[in-house]
Structure 1
Amino acid sequence: MKIRIKTLSLALLIFAMTSCKEDFLETVPTDSVTPAVALADEASMQNVLNGIHRGLYSQSQTILPGGDSARAGDHYWVPMGDAIAGGLIHSADANNLGWRDTMQWNDHTLETSLTNEILWYHRYNIILHANLIIDRINQGDLTETPNLLAIKGQAYTYRAWALLSLVQHYSKGYLIGNPSTDPGVPVNLNAQSTGPRGTVQDVYDQIGLDVNAAIAAFQNAAPRPTGGPETKSQLNINVAYGVKARWALSMGDWQTAATAAVAARQGFPLMNEADWKSGFNTNDLPEVIWGSNVISTETTFFRSYFYLMCNTFNGSQNRSNPKIADRRLVDAIPDTDYRKDVFLIDAPNTNASASNGEGGWDNNTNPLYTTEEEFDAAEAAIKSQYGMTSGHNTHPYMHVKMLQKNPGTTDPDDIIYMRSSEMYLIEAEAKAMMNDIPGAQAALAPLGNERDSAYDVTIFNSQAALMDHIKFQRGVELWGEGFGYTDKIRWDEGIDHGADGGSGAAAVLYQDAFVVERPSVNDDWIFKIPQAEINANPNIGPGDQN
């Protein structure tokens, strides 16, 4: 990053906007912006923050020198977590944006891959601009108003969040390695600093300092604005507590994780059935603590989160390749749990190119359809109900959890990063790991009772039973929201699509990713350091490669 630091330092500043509520970006010539001007006052610093917000979902070439239109920030990184972990399953061959390569583990395992490079520089770009804000505030010549404290809290939260993302992808998992000696990622604490990888523990220590600094700032800060979905792109104390809960959970600090998770979800009630089935396409949902509000003037079209995994999006990635859930997970959902309804178990397999070889009426294996007319009628009914086009295919176990506001189009939808359900599950896992059986049951009960009319948490009355159930609940509740990768690393679990009756994935399509050894014995779970970084950073050499 040392060579790139000067070119990155203003990358987001020149795309900063005057307000997160506006539908356009204010741009200025690169050579007319300096940190002194861009960070002169609260309004200017808020513009920089708004640029960071936009950078989460913009095409990377608009924020990074050498970026690429095939990666649009967390549109890609969020579903990637479930694609790599084998939960978001491809039913047919389609490699738009390298999505098949990602799923097959032919992407993050290569030091020259676009995914490795863009994720690295995207997160460090966030850190760089957070550093610019923090450095400016720490100069001490600005009046510490509630608004300035809100800006400070957001900057520290962003730095903590970006560092956590980096260390979880480019280093060995905290709980399955030796954090005091395992290589971490560079910790840059001001706009002009760079350094060696250090250790995983070094990174985790800094995340803890940052997230606590964020919470301290937010405690006396102006509250986050209320209103439409755009307001939840701004970070607040709940987001900071949520990042702290994730950080503590990933390192096995169970009590801190539980306490922070409770604080994070305050004011964000669980969704009811109607909300849960509405498509997960807006920050307006009551559970959403943080998300990107993707405005129509900046849609990424065929590079969006929903393009990669939503079965109503009108793109070839979806029409030819309906995304399905692991049938072992879906079959385990009780019929009294309304979440089962968003997985269409008996959808006909209409794609003649389906990887399992069962596509089309001539290959139908579902005894529910005894005639071609019944088969075709079922397809038509699904397309009509969910707004798919005539070109969309259907497939058994396809999901309709993520649905567009305007199905069958390429219109943009929001990206949800943090919900209160996750916080209930973090508290439950943390208390189960402390062997606090009543505490874990109490944390699970509100979520389970809301989702399942016959839910009885008392049957999970041992640590082992609770952990198995928490893993199941995370798999169902957070399916498609990107947590599979970090969950499997934390739990040290591998991937086996063929076990226990099979997931529904085809070995011919998944190839080496059909069975993957657990993270503690397989370093392929660790993303490769970009070769471009090794070439550019004098503090990182070929011997530092994962």
Structure 2
Amino acid sequence: MIRNKILLLLAISMVVFVGCSEDYLETTPTDSISEEDALSSTENMDLVLNGLHRMMYAQNVLEGAESSRSGESYFIPSFDAIGGNTIHSSPGNGWMTSDLKWTTHTNASSTTNFNLWFQRYHFVETANTIINKVAVSDFVETEDLNKVLGQSYAYRAWAYLKLVSTFSKGYIIGTPSTDPGVPVLTEAGAPYEGGPRGTVEAVYTQMESDIDAAITYLKNGSAADNNSNISLNAAYGIKARIALSKGDWATAAESAALAREGYPILTEAQWLTGFNSADSDILPEVIWGGTVIDTETNYYQSYFYFIAFSFNGSLNRSNPKIISKELYDRLPATDYRTQGWLPLAPNTNSAASNDQGGSYETDPNYDNKADFDAAWEDIIETYGATTGHNTHPYMNVKFKPKNPGSIDPDDVIYMRSSEMVLIEAEAKAMLNDIPGAQDALNILGSARDSAFDKTAFTSQNSLMDEIKWQRRVELWGEGFSYHDNIRWDEGIDQTNSGASSTLYQAGFIQAKPSVNDDWIFKIPQREIDANPYMTDADQN
């Protein structure tokens, strides 16, 4: 791998930010913690895992990586930008414009590719270190040790799923027995030489073994401390995602149902609060999410900086994110999710990419200045934005900061039960279990739309059409569209979405993944240069 230092020690250095064991930190300075000390007890290994919990959302502290691509805070919105579901209304300050244009993930020298690869292999390396240390030691089995091992196996499975589904051809649309995957590394320690790519099938074999081990340990482990930890439910959710991505429909349906047990669907009032908390007492659907520590925020590299209208950053003030007109216009009036976007928001930005911004004279929705200005003022007041924030038709207000108009941190949601319901519905539809798919879909549909009628979908095709639409609306902005398009083998066509072909360029229209290898991220050139098992011939 690219790594030349003991990355475990970098994870340990993050413990100081988490503050989980004041006594330990006072007696053992973080710049002198040895690997032996860090792995000497269950409590210390739990501290190492806390470093991973924080790295899921926090500014990157790994040597050689960039803080500008900070874990899931960046990659969740990035995958939806590349996948075409979260539409940018203008270039803004330039953040993610190369993602939209498809000039980032197709570039082997890009920071995005490097950070995605480097961070995920850091998760693998840290998990390996814990797993292998326990295997050769005489630790007494306890519920706390099982929790540590369960999370380590789950993190390794999660990291490999992110890697193989991004840097390799999709399992369903490819030939996994021969398609090149990513290096499968299960050993820990120097010299970190990396390994060959192997096959996609080999990576899936490892992931499935890991997530099954995680579930076994977590069943016998102590309860998760909070939703930042990987719980048994979250492990089932990871298993459901793995199975869905390879077309193992029966396992996907079963695992998704287990993952959402105890996590009821949001009510209308809860859905409209803004998706800014990972606390399931506030948002009961949240199975797994990052609880952001107020004193160690990402600020302008936070998730809400990239997605929330009233976050007070230049990207938001000049570039409210919008939903596709085709998606939104299909929402019936009886569906309360219509309130998550504002189709008639005035186009106040003179630099808007659709060339209709700046005044009532260019905005076709308004014919006088008084109404145009009043509509903008009402949105600013209602959603707590500043007078420097622009608005745009179909703009997102699904995501609302707890303290709008500020740069205060908010939590990052990684998994919730609506996703699991939709996995179950899709898997059963693909099994041609029409009644089962209808019933699963009804769990979400009837909760969101008072007039939802599951019996309207009587065939696999009609069910899949509805499930795809529901995923794109319900999970809008939550990072799924890139991988969904690969699984469904669907390309991108923004012609009727409201996106600008001038802004999006190559990302405006892309052929489906089965015939278009540009969907596959380029392996970082720095990895190919440093890994003795890889050459330029291994590049995607």
Match status 1:85 vs 2:80: no
1:308 aligned partner: 306
Q: Is the contact made by 1:186 and 1:198 (CA closer than 8 Å) also made in structure 2?
A: yes
Where 2:9 maps in the other structure, the secondary structure is coil
Deviation at 1:94, TM superposition (A): 2.4
Deviation at 1:371, TM superposition (A): 1.6
Once the two structures are superposed, the pairs formed by residues 215-234 of structure 1 within 5 Å of their partners are 215-225=215-225, 231-234=226-229
Once the two structures are superposed, the pairs formed by residues 220-369 of structure 1 within 5 Å of their partners are 220-225=220-225, 231-284=226-279, 285-367=283-365, 369=366
Change (3 A) 1:25 1:312: farther
Residues 321-330 or 33-42, more deviating: 33-42
Residues 46-55 or 85-94, more deviating: 85-94
Deviation at 1:220, TM superposition (A): 1.0
Where 1:361 maps in the other structure, the secondary structure is coil
1:496 aligned partner: 493
What residue identity is the alignment partner of 1:356?
N
1:36 aligned partner: 36
Q: Is the contact made by 2:17 and 2:296 (CA closer than 8 Å) also made in structure 1?
A: no
1:228 aligned partner: none
Match status 1:10 vs 2:5: no
Deviation at 1:25, TM superposition (A): 11
Deviation at 1:162, TM superposition (A): 0.3
Where 1:136 maps in the other structure, the secondary structure is helix
Q: What do residues 369-419 of structure 1 show as CA deviations (whole Å, max 9, x unaligned)? A: 332101100000001000010000000000100110000100000000000
Q: Is the contact made by 2:124 and 2:155 (CA closer than 8 Å) also made in structure 1?
A: yes
2:518 aligned partner: 524
Match status 1:139 vs 2:133: no
Deviation at 1:5, TM superposition (A): 4.6
Change (3 A) 1:338 1:203: same
TM-score, length-normalised on structure 1?
A: 0.95
Q: Is the contact made by 2:356 and 2:364 (CA closer than 8 Å) also made in structure 1?
A: no
Where 2:287 maps in the other structure, the secondary structure is strand
Where 1:289 maps in the other structure, the secondary structure is strand
What residue identity is the alignment partner of 2:47?
N
Where 2:251 maps in the other structure, the secondary structure is helix
Match status 1:94 vs 2:92: yes
Match status 1:114 vs 2:108: no
Q: What do residues 405-454 of structure 1 show as CA deviations (whole Å, max 9, x unaligned)? A: 00010000000000000000000000000000000001111111110000
Deviation at 1:35, TM superposition (A): 1.7
Where 1:174 maps in the other structure, the secondary structure is coil
1:57 aligned partner: 57
2:182 aligned partner: 185
Where 1:11 maps in the other structure, the secondary structure is helix
Q: What do residues 34-81 of structure 1 show as CA deviations (whole Å, max 9, x unaligned)? A: 221101001100000000111112222x1x111212111111011111
1:374 aligned partner: 371
Q: Is the contact made by 1:7 and 1:65 (CA closer than 8 Å) also made in structure 2?
A: no
Q: Is the contact made by 2:18 and 2:54 (CA closer than 8 Å) also made in structure 1?
A: no
Change (3 A) 1:203 1:352: same
Q: Is the contact made by 2:179 and 2:200 (CA closer than 8 Å) also made in structure 1?
A: yes
Q: In structure 2, what is the Cα distance between the partners aligned to 1:144 and 1:333?
A: 52
Q: Is the contact made by 1:16 and 1:25 (CA closer than 8 Å) also made in structure 2?
A: no
Deviation at 1:26, TM superposition (A): 5.1
Deviation at 1:515, TM superposition (A): 0.6
Q: Is the contact made by 1:17 and 1:25 (CA closer than 8 Å) also made in structure 2?
A: no
Q: Is the contact made by 1:294 and 1:415 (CA closer than 8 Å) also made in structure 2?
A: yes
Q: In structure 1, what is the Cα distance between the partners aligned to 2:400 and 2:17?
A: 31
Q: Is the contact made by 2:93 and 2:314 (CA closer than 8 Å) also made in structure 1?
A: no
Q: In structure 2, what is the Cα distance between the partners aligned to 1:164 and 1:111?
A: 20
What residue identity is the alignment partner of 2:252?
A
Give the unaligned 5+ runs of structure 2.
Answer: none
From 453, 458, 475, the equivalent of 1:478 is 475
Q: In structure 2, what is the Cα distance between the partners aligned to 1:535 and 1:271?
A: 48
Deviation at 1:6, TM superposition (A): 3.0
Q: In structure 2, what is the Cα distance between the partners aligned to 1:190 and 1:16?
A: 23
Q: In structure 1, what is the Cα distance between the partners aligned to 2:213 and 2:494?
A: 43
Change (3 A) 1:134 1:359: same
Deviation at 1:18, TM superposition (A): 8.6
Once the two structures are superposed, the pairs formed by residues 405-484 of structure 1 within 5 Å of their partners are 405-484=402-481
Change (3 A) 1:346 1:18: closer
Q: Is the contact made by 2:272 and 2:340 (CA closer than 8 Å) also made in structure 1?
A: yes
Q: In structure 2, what is the Cα distance between the partners aligned to 1:104 and 1:22?
A: 45
Deviation at 1:185, TM superposition (A): 0.3
1:202 aligned partner: 202
Q: How many residues align?
A: 533
Where 2:414 maps in the other structure, the secondary structure is strand
Q: In structure 1, what is the Cα distance between the partners aligned to 2:198 and 2:81?
A: 29
2:65 aligned partner: 67
What residue identity is the alignment partner of 1:432?
A
Q: Is the contact made by 1:149 and 1:221 (CA closer than 8 Å) also made in structure 2?
A: yes
What residue identity is the alignment partner of 1:364?
T
Once the two structures are superposed, the pairs formed by residues 503-514 of structure 1 within 5 Å of their partners are 503-514=497-508
Where 2:289 maps in the other structure, the secondary structure is strand
Q: In structure 1, what is the Cα distance between the partners aligned to 2:362 and 2:293?
A: 42
Q: In structure 1, what is the Cα distance between the partners aligned to 2:310 and 2:333?
A: 24
Where 1:307 maps in the other structure, the secondary structure is helix
What residue identity is the alignment partner of 1:76?
Y
What residue identity is the alignment partner of 1:349?
N
TM-score, length-normalised on structure 2?
A: 0.96
Change (3 A) 1:412 1:31: closer
Q: In structure 1, what is the Cα distance between the partners aligned to 2:57 and 2:466?
A: 33
Q: In structure 1, what is the Cα distance between the partners aligned to 2:360 and 2:54?
A: 48
1:535 aligned partner: 529
Change (3 A) 1:24 1:406: farther
Where 2:461 maps in the other structure, the secondary structure is helix
Residues 176-185 or 192-201, more deviating: 192-201
Change (3 A) 1:22 1:345: farther
Q: In structure 2, what is the Cα distance between the partners aligned to 1:394 and 1:26?
A: 47
